[in-house]
Amino acid sequence: MTNPGQDQTREFPPDFEWGAATASYQIEGAVTEDGRGPSIWDTYSHTPGRVLNGENGDIAADHYHRWQEDIALMSKLGLTAYRFSFAWPRIQPLGSGPFNPAGIDFYSRLVDGLLEVGIDPVATLYHWDLPQPLEDAGGWPNRDTAYRFEEYAAHVAGRLGDRVKVWTTLNEPWCSAYLGYGSGVHAPGRTDPAAAMTAVHHLNLAHGLGGRAVRDIVGDRSQLSVTLNLHAIRPADPSSADDLDAVRQIEALSNRAFLNPMLDGFYPQDLLEDTAKVTDWSFVRDGDLETIKVPIDVLGVNYYSTGTVRRHVGRGPVVRADGHGASAWSAWIGADDVEFIQQEGPYTAMGWNIAPEALTKLLVGLGDAYPDLPLIITENGAAFHDDVSEDGRVHDAGRVDYLHSHISAVHDAIKAGVDVRGYFVWSLMDNFEWGYGFDRRFGVIRIDYDTLERHWKDSAFWYRELIRTRTIPPVEIAPTLS
Ligand code: FCB
């Protein structure tokens, strides 16, 4: 894949979107400014023992104050699109009741600033920072949260409308439900399997209600979307019926629990059966599935790595190495005898294995299953422990390699006929990586957390070259670009 001759043929269509992604709590800081209320991530990160090194997003990358500088960076990179998220507690501090004009004004200025330099705003309504009062009232296991989301979504769409090119309802509801309420390694940190399954449904419902609210306001002038972290799961032993069945079970929990209701209007029967000991699914009410299946224009796919599973019939809980942080509680509800086994390397600093071919396979599979639904890669990227070299540069060769191989994998999918419309690198800049704090750096732009200065890494120069030429540059040239 690093053969320069071959690289010449790897050209992307002229209208392919090249973006970078971030999320509000991970970059903004300014958590008490201009009327912002607390979110579940403020509470969680300020609870001792929850986040590595006791870190929190109080300052993060200080994007709330430096957004103009950050737009200038995006413009220099040549981005055609920027994916960011709204902090619900900035816009509606209590999660219900009055809206805070200063909160929405911040995003209005950001959107206008992007449009001025020709960058398409791709906005996510919910990237995990639930207003704390809504969690106090029960959080996502409480059905009312979905209606609160609908009201919030309508307000934001009413203010920003078609200035936003793509409206994404939720980012990775898998994480919100199973990590937030199952294994507890994400906010709000609850460990209640039945609550996690209830949260799955209420997040789906929120997507349907919020998506319809946005559509009613923007019509066809903007696109409607949702972003899922679809799991690429492999069997430990492809010839073992038990292991293949473990793959089926994990894919039901991770992928079909969202794809089927959102795109097809039903919950998979095997998912209902696999979780029957935990819940009877009586939280699904008449009409919910019709609501959830709101027509979307494009599906956002986040991809980082793969999982490999094996079934241990008759043993106790064995989930290990699922890549999302240690917990005595499993994120995989009802799958106690499924073991996640260590992947083959190489790995990123998250311990996640690097497997670009699985991205092609995932996209081809989606293209086969939903041929009329365009796809965008809304997140893909890698954490590495970058250092500033003596020459003052950040030679993040591992990240350049990762981006090269994964963007090549996207190109392979397009060549195979899959309708992929864009690619967003995670992330524009180093940021607060949830339970891992600032220890894991995903940015193509480095943040010096002492001074909050931004520095281009080699990967940023390489990505700019890719966007400029619409052709995947060889990795070797990265350190020579400036
Ligand atoms: C995804 C999240 C994103 C970031 C990356 C590394 O699950 O959506 O916020 O943390 O992982």
Amino acid at 1: M
Ligand 1 centroid–CA 277 distance in Å is 30
Residue 178 domain-assigned (yes or no): yes
Catalytic residue among 17, 28, 135, 172: 172
Ligand 1 centroid–CA 23 distance in Å is 8
Cβ neighbour number for residue 266 with a 10 Å cutoff: 13
Ligand 1 close to Cβ of residue 41 (< 6 A): no
Residue to substitute in 433, 440, 441 for testing ligand 1 pocket (most ligand atoms within 8 angstroms of CB): 433
Alpha-carbon torsion, ordered 255, 324, 203, 297, to 10 deg: -50
Task: For residue 14, name the pLDDT band (cuts at 50, 70, 90).
Answer: very high
Ligand 1 close to Cβ of residue 433 (< 6 A): yes
Residue 406 domain-assigned (yes or no): yes
Residue 320 domain-assigned (yes or no): no
- Residue 443: give its domain's CATH number: 3.20.20.80
Ligand 1 close to Cβ of residue 172 (< 6 A): yes
**pTM above the 0.95 mark?**
yes
172 as an active site residue: the answer is: yes
Residue 8 has pLDDT above 60, yes or no: no
Query: From CA 176, how far away is CA 458, in angstroms rounded?
Result: 33
Q: 179-202 burial string, b = 16+ CB within 10 Å, else e? A: bbbbbbbbbbbbbbbbbbbbbbbb
Ligand 1 close to Cβ of residue 175 (< 6 A): yes
Ligand 1 close to Cβ of residue 23 (< 6 A): yes
Please tell me the predicted confidence (pLDDT) of residue 192. Answer: 98
Residue 482: exposed, middle, or buried by beta-carbon count in 10 A (0-12, 13-18, 19+)?
Answer: exposed
Please tell me the predicted confidence (pLDDT) of residue 343. Answer: 86
Query: From CA 262, how far away is CA 207, in angstroms rounded?
Result: 8
Nearest to 348 by CA among 431, 439, 287, 435: 439
Ligand 1 centroid–CA 434 distance in Å is 8
Task: For residue 324, name the pLDDT band (cuts at 50, 70, 90).
Answer: confident
Ligand 1 centroid–CA 326 distance in Å is 17
Residue 336 domain-assigned (yes or no): no
User: Closest ligand 1 atom to the C-alpha of 171?
Assistant: 8
Ligand 1 close to Cβ of residue 299 (< 6 A): no
Please tell me the predicted confidence (pLDDT) of residue 327. Answer: 84
Ligand 1 centroid–CA 442 distance in Å is 9
Q: How many domains does the chain have?
A: 1
Q: Whose CA is nearest to atom 4 of ligand 1?
A: 433
Please tell me the predicted confidence (pLDDT) of residue 313. Answer: 74
- H-helix or E-strand containing 123? strand 120-126
Residue 103 domain-assigned (yes or no): yes
- H-helix or E-strand containing 454? strand 454-456
Handedness of CA 273, 276, 277, 278 (dihedral sign): positive
Please state which of the ranges 82-96, 112-126, 135-149, 303-317 shows the lowest mean pLDDT.
303-317
Catalytic residue among 150, 339, 379, 433: 379
Q: Whose CA is nearest to atom 9 of ligand 1?
A: 23
Residue 364 domain-assigned (yes or no): yes
Amino acid at 98: P
Amino acid at 119: I
Query: From CA 288, how far away is CA 265, in angstroms rounded?
Result: 9
135 as an active site residue: the answer is: no
List pLDDT tens digits, range 33-43: 999 999 999 99
3-state helix, strand, coil in the chain (%, to 5): 45, 15, 40
Query: From CA 346, how far away is CA 199, in angstroms rounded?
Result: 34
Span 332-361, average pLDDT: 94
Residue 68 domain-assigned (yes or no): yes
Please state which of the ranges 1-10, 391-400, 431-440 shows the lowest mean pLDDT.
1-10
The domain of 87 spans 17-223+345-480
Residue 7 has pLDDT above 60, yes or no: no
Please state which of the ranges 48-62, 301-315, 361-375 shows the lowest mean pLDDT.
301-315
Residue 328 domain-assigned (yes or no): no
Query: What is the percent of the chain where pLDDT is above 90?
Result: 93
Cβ neighbour number for residue 203 with a 10 Å cutoff: 27
* Residue whose structure tokens are 């800081």: 29
